[in-house]
Structure 1
Amino acid sequence: MDTLLFDLDGTLLDTNPLIIASFRHTLGYYFPNETYRDEDIFPFIGPTLEKSFKALNEPEWKEMQAFYRSFNIAMHDQLVAEYPGVIEGLYRLHAKGYKMGVVTSKGRPVVEQGLRLFNIDHLFDVVITADDVVHEKPHAEPVELALRALGSTADRAVMVGDNDTDIFSGKNAGTKTVAVGWALKGRAFLEALEPDVIIDSMEHFEAWLDEVTVHA
C-alpha cells in the first residue's frame, strides 16, 4: 500500500461550519419563508453544489451556486478549522514516502485556498477537483484520475473520506476505503457504508496501514 487519496471537506479540514453557514445564507436568501436547521442541510454535504441546488428543483440553481460561492470564499478563512492531529498525521505520512492526493467535489480555487491556509498544499502530488472530471464522486472517475496521475494502481491505494460519495468512489475504483470517525454524520452512518476500516485518529490510520502492508 503506497498511495493515499483523501477527501478534503470533513476529512482533512473541518469545513462543516463554513458549509452549513454558506447553505443557510443561500437558502435563506432564496427561500426566506423557510427555516433550515443544521440537520436539514446535512444531505447537501458531500454532493457537488450543482447536484444539491438542482435537487431543490430550482431553475435558478446556477445563480444560487454563484451566491453560495461568493459567501463561502469570503468567510472561508474565518470558519475553516483543523481537526486535532490530522495535519500532523499528514506530515508523518508524507515523511514516510506515501504518494498522496486530494480527491474532492469542490471547485479548484477554494480547494487550493484551504490547502494553502493550513500549509499542506505541498504534501500532495495531485489534487483532483470537480473542475477536472465529467463524473464526480461516487463515480470512480475522480479516484481513477488521481491514480493515473500518481502512476499508481487501485490495489496499492486507499480512499479516505467522511461521506458515502468518498467511500463508494473508492469502492467503484477498486481501492481500499477508510472512513474517518470524526465525520459529521456519525458512526452509524459510516458503518452502513461498509468501509474497510473506520479510523478514530491519524495514529489509528497509520497503525492500520502498517498492518495492511505486513499482511499484503
Structure 2
Amino acid sequence: MTRWNTLLFDLDGTLIDTNDLIISSYEHVLTYYAPDQYSRDDIISWIGVPLADNFSSISSNPSQVEQMIDTYQSHNLANHETLVREYDGVYDTIKTLHERGFSLGIVTTKRKEAAVKGAEMLGLLPFFSTFVTVDDVTNPKPHPEPLQIAMTQLNARPEETIMVGDSQFDILAGKNAGVRTAGVAWTIKGASFLKNYEPDWMLAKMSDLLDIVGETEE
C-alpha cells in the first residue's frame, strides 16, 4: 500500500491565473515582430511551451529570438500586479497540504524571475520546498527531467508522487517520469482537451486533491 507524499505542480494556469498576462505578453511581442499573423487561439496553443521554441517558429534568427524573449519578459514582469489573479481554493488547499506534511514542489517552463514573482505575489512561495524552472533544466516538459530534478531535491519516489497541471505537457511529463497525474478542469485549453491525454484524475477544484491524497494504491 502506497501513500502519496509528494505533489508537484505546474505554476501558470494551475496554481495562479496568468492566462491574461501570458496572452498580453505574446500579443505585445507580436505587435513588433509579427503583426496580424497570429490569433488568440494560436497563442493559447503556445502556452506550456518554452518561449525560445515558440519564438523560433516565428524567426530563424537566434539574435531576434533573444530580443523577442527579452521583450516578452519585460512586459510580463511589468504587468504581474495588474494581470495575475488567484484561483479560488488554491491557497487554502496548498496551505493545508503543507500543514499535513506533504512535500510540495513547483515545476514550470517559465523563467525563474517571473515564476518566483508570481508565486510570491499570491503568497504561495513559502509552502514549496523546491522550485524547478526552465532555467534549471536542459530538457523542459514533456521531458521527465524537470520532474526528476524536483523528486531528487525532495527525496521523493515516483510511485509516491503526483504531478498536477493544466497542459498536455504536464500530463506527458508526469507519465514520462513514471508518476501519477492530475489535470485541472480550469485549464484555458479546455477540460475535454486535457482529458485526451488521460490524466489519472481531473480536478474540478484544487481541493479535490485533499480527497485523492487520502487514497492508497494496491
What is the TM-score with the length of structure 2 in the denominator? 0.95
Name the residue aligned to 2:182.
178
Where 1:183 maps in the other structure, the secondary structure is coil
What is the TM-score with the length of structure 1 in the denominator? 0.95
Is the Cα contact below 8 Å between 1:2 and 1:99 reproduced in 2?
A: yes
**1:133-148 equivalence runs, <5 A:** 133-148=137-152
Distance, in Å, in 2 between the alignment partners of 1:40 and 1:150 is 36
Distance, in Å, in 2 between the alignment partners of 1:90 and 1:38 is 31
Residue type of the alignment partner of 1:39: D
Aligned length: 213
Residue type of the alignment partner of 1:7: D
Distance, in Å, in 2 between the alignment partners of 1:13 and 1:171 is 23
Q: Deviating runs (4+, > 2 A) in structure 1?
A: none
Name the residue aligned to 1:43.
45
Q: 1:204 deviation in Å? A: 1.5
Is the Cα contact below 8 Å between 2:90 and 2:207 reproduced in 1?
A: no
Name the residue aligned to 1:19.
22
**CA RMSD of the aligned region, Å?**
1.1
Distance, in Å, in 2 between the alignment partners of 1:129 and 1:5 is 12
Identity over the aligned pairs, expressed in percent?
40
Q: 1:128 deviation in Å? A: 0.3
Distance, in Å, in 1 between the alignment partners of 2:203 and 2:169 is 17
Q: 1:80 deviation in Å? A: 0.4
Distance, in Å, in 2 between the alignment partners of 1:209 and 1:52 is 35
Distance, in Å, in 2 between the alignment partners of 1:209 and 1:119 is 23
User: Higher helix proportion, which one?
Assistant: 1
Residue type of the alignment partner of 2:105: G
Q: Does 1:2 align with 2:5?
A: yes
Q: 1:208 deviation in Å? A: 1.8
Q: 1:35 deviation in Å? A: 5.2
